[in-house]
Structure 1
């Protein structure tokens, strides 16, 4: 599941060390009559961009050279372009890399051009704010990229499985409490063929991509407000992590470690063996071919009673060194906010529209699943947050949490004990990241 999320949600952070020392004198990929646009994605995205860019070329009498890579190759190839002083004029950037790019003079402040040409009230605020940086904190200040997309990480359920089990369908408005969720998940965990071996489970979640929802809805968080202190050792965080581990070890509503080795939970979901599973907009084209009906609901809620999840995003940035920075900036804004360009990407089935008006129309008029597309918009509008690592200079402190978490997931160590051990290591890495960023 990790690779499919990284491919679209934009949560890969380029190592800041690879950018340190890069000068603003690096030559951009194009010349005065040619722009280069580098991105990662699928063939469907390439086709959508090609169609959109053809119109841009006609309207602006310019040639745009498209450079596409796979998700796995993108980071390496972009770093090589930066090192070799062949930075594309326009390229994808993830929020976690913005601070390093700004510090190294790689990307251009495009605030003036954006504010002069874009109705920001009609663009998802989360998308724009993800690329703001005031020199100290992400989310405020000048704009250094425009959103390519917003990727609300929603929660899906197998409607066909519910109906077969005679369980009332979940509400699209009122989320399950944790206890209610476990109760339903137990009813869905079955030996359907009577051979004494489970072959259907309530859920099967990846800790790295699903823990956030449980922590946030329980009142916990990774950092304090000014992002200087790691707060994972709080009781609220420990309770959420323990609940996550107990889904396997106590409630036994997830595939066992052995089961997961035979077939991972994403594959089991695709085969109709999992009741609840995360869903992003990028999944929708693939899920059209599933042999069961499915839909979206809010994530289960902890002590706050408020559902929460994360939103992935990619940005479209402009190289500071572009030889035609004005036109490059125009291209970045066009790809992010032009209705025709957006429609090409939406038609390809890979994202939610960046424009709010388009998104409302999309929810009302689209006939393909999921029926409850409004859940995607609710996440972007109200319930979603940035991944914690995307708000700091580096992700090392965040990654540290997951390096040795397996004993907790296996029931061999309590969440509270583990978090007490790992918090100092995470704090040390966060202090280093903030020092590297000149914050502190």
Structure 2
């Protein structure tokens, strides 16, 4: 997936800080002569932003931080190798889907007491972000804190404003989402393969959630005990998503996508609608067309939906410098100046709620409708289905054989009916392994 997962600012400005965030420093001295290891994943822009943040932390504490950085697709493998080899970094990124397993097996430290002792008020951070790394021994979302959010990642929907204007098509309403029928109609109007122009090009693994949830379906029940893909609401959503290509032809064909993937086509101005996360903003600032955010199209519930991701910053249970390591996690997650530098770098929205709803919204630069990111973070974004289960294997199975549905060779209803028992067996096994 090209839109992957994401100290004063580079220009030294605070971009209109109104002082709302009341962010006191989360660091102190006492780190002289200590070296921490910090492992994270990220692209070039994120690495540059974190180089500045780490340098500021070192200056404030006197500590040295050895940074281990990987690409997103290598991170999980390299972290697991470090754990297996007994070389766990002092501080590292924790994926939402690993919270339960890492907490139960003692890989990550319960930092609740350290946070309280440091005086960090976690209520100033997005509740979703903090709760994503809570675990009470049975459920994720409550109990002790095993990490702090590196970010919250609202997965929003973007459109090529320039393309609309050039074709004379009315711009989408930022407050009133399209229905599925309206969206498909506009996507067809945008599509002209001979002109290398298509309405959309959505990756099913990262966009189907919006269709399913908005239609009243889900992958599993709230307790994550029963797989629920074999419902009419789910099948209807999957079929509508597939029909954007099968019937409408509003996305590049398989052959066209092999020549150039849809992310590249979006970047070249050939795609009308495409997903956008805060981690994309730094890259998208250089596009030669104007773009903005709108809500995802809506199904039968009439309510827009999408997912809200996160990465956590956790402290190793085996670190010899627990207090300083926790300081680093708190600094990267909740220090006001650090958060300002990260949002100004265009790689995330601020973790501090007041900053996100204040100076961030007033900041210049795309997207103009930054409010959509905030609404997802505050109101309607949901965790991905496997974010709070022992393993994601049950959920991953859904995508393995999805292509025949997208090609029109298998109906959505037949696919979900056939797959549900297999996914249920894997979810049952995951719950058994977790002891719940």
* TM-score, structure 1 as length reference: 0.90
Greater Cα offset, 403-412 or 339-348: 339-348
Deviation at 1:46, TM superposition (A): 3.0
Measured in 2, the distance between the counterparts of 1:34 and 1:86 equals 14
CA contact (8 A) 2:350 2:360 kept: no
- 1:101 is matched with which residue? 102
Matches within 5 A, 1:248-287: 248-287=245-284
Greater Cα offset, 204-213 or 36-45: 36-45
Greater Cα offset, 52-61 or 423-432: 52-61
Matches within 5 A, 1:394-405: 394-405=391-402
1:42/1:204 CA distance change after superposition, 3 Å: closer
Q: 1:432 and 2:429 equivalent?
A: yes
Find the partner of 2:217 among 214, 217, 220: 220
Determine helix, strand or coil for the equivalent of 2:423. Answer: helix
Matches within 5 A, 1:203-242: 203-242=200-239
- 1:20 is matched with which residue? none
Find the partner of 1:168 among 160, 170, 173: 170
Measured in 2, the distance between the counterparts of 1:410 and 1:42 equals 33
Deviation at 1:179, TM superposition (A): 0.9
RMSD over aligned CA atoms reads 1.7
- 1:5 is matched with which residue? 4
CA contact (8 A) 2:97 2:391 kept: yes
Determine helix, strand or coil for the equivalent of 2:142. Answer: strand
Measured in 1, the distance between the counterparts of 2:251 and 2:222 equals 34
- 1:330 is matched with which residue? 327
Residues 269-300 of structure 1, C-alpha deviation per residue, up to 9 Å, x if partnerless?
A: 11111111101111111111212111000000
CA contact (8 A) 1:48 1:348 kept: yes
Determine helix, strand or coil for the equivalent of 2:192. Answer: coil
Q: 1:81 and 2:74 equivalent?
A: no
Measured in 2, the distance between the counterparts of 1:46 and 1:166 equals 40
Measured in 2, the distance between the counterparts of 1:113 and 1:74 equals 27
Deviation at 1:42, TM superposition (A): 2.8
Residues 59-85 of structure 1, C-alpha deviation per residue, up to 9 Å, x if partnerless?
A: 333222222222233222211211111
Deviation at 1:198, TM superposition (A): 5.6
Stretches of structure 2 that go unaligned for 5 or more consecutive residues are: 7-30
Measured in 2, the distance between the counterparts of 1:360 and 1:309 equals 20
- 1:246 is matched with which residue? 243
CA contact (8 A) 1:32 1:324 kept: no
Determine helix, strand or coil for the equivalent of 2:38. Answer: strand
1:32/1:225 CA distance change after superposition, 3 Å: farther
Measured in 2, the distance between the counterparts of 1:326 and 1:248 equals 54
Measured in 2, the distance between the counterparts of 1:31 and 1:414 equals 63
- 1:354 is matched with which residue? 351
Q: 1:47 and 2:48 equivalent?
A: yes
- 1:137 is matched with which residue? 139
Residues 254-275 of structure 1, C-alpha deviation per residue, up to 9 Å, x if partnerless?
A: 1122222222111111111111
Q: 1:423 and 2:426 equivalent?
A: no
1:233/1:99 CA distance change after superposition, 3 Å: same
CA contact (8 A) 2:132 2:141 kept: yes
Determine helix, strand or coil for the equivalent of 1:310. Answer: strand
Deviation at 1:359, TM superposition (A): 1.1
Residues 384-407 of structure 1, C-alpha deviation per residue, up to 9 Å, x if partnerless?
A: 111111111111100111111111
Deviation at 1:31, TM superposition (A): 12
- 1:34 is matched with which residue? 35
Residues 89-134 of structure 1, C-alpha deviation per residue, up to 9 Å, x if partnerless?
A: 1111101111111121100111223345222222111111111112
Measured in 2, the distance between the counterparts of 1:129 and 1:436 equals 22
Deviation at 1:427, TM superposition (A): 0.4
Measured in 2, the distance between the counterparts of 1:63 and 1:144 equals 23
Residues 217-242 of structure 1, C-alpha deviation per residue, up to 9 Å, x if partnerless?
A: 00000111111110000111000000
Measured in 2, the distance between the counterparts of 1:253 and 1:127 equals 36
Stretches of structure 1 that go unaligned for 5 or more consecutive residues are: 9-29, 192-196
Measured in 2, the distance between the counterparts of 1:137 and 1:166 equals 51
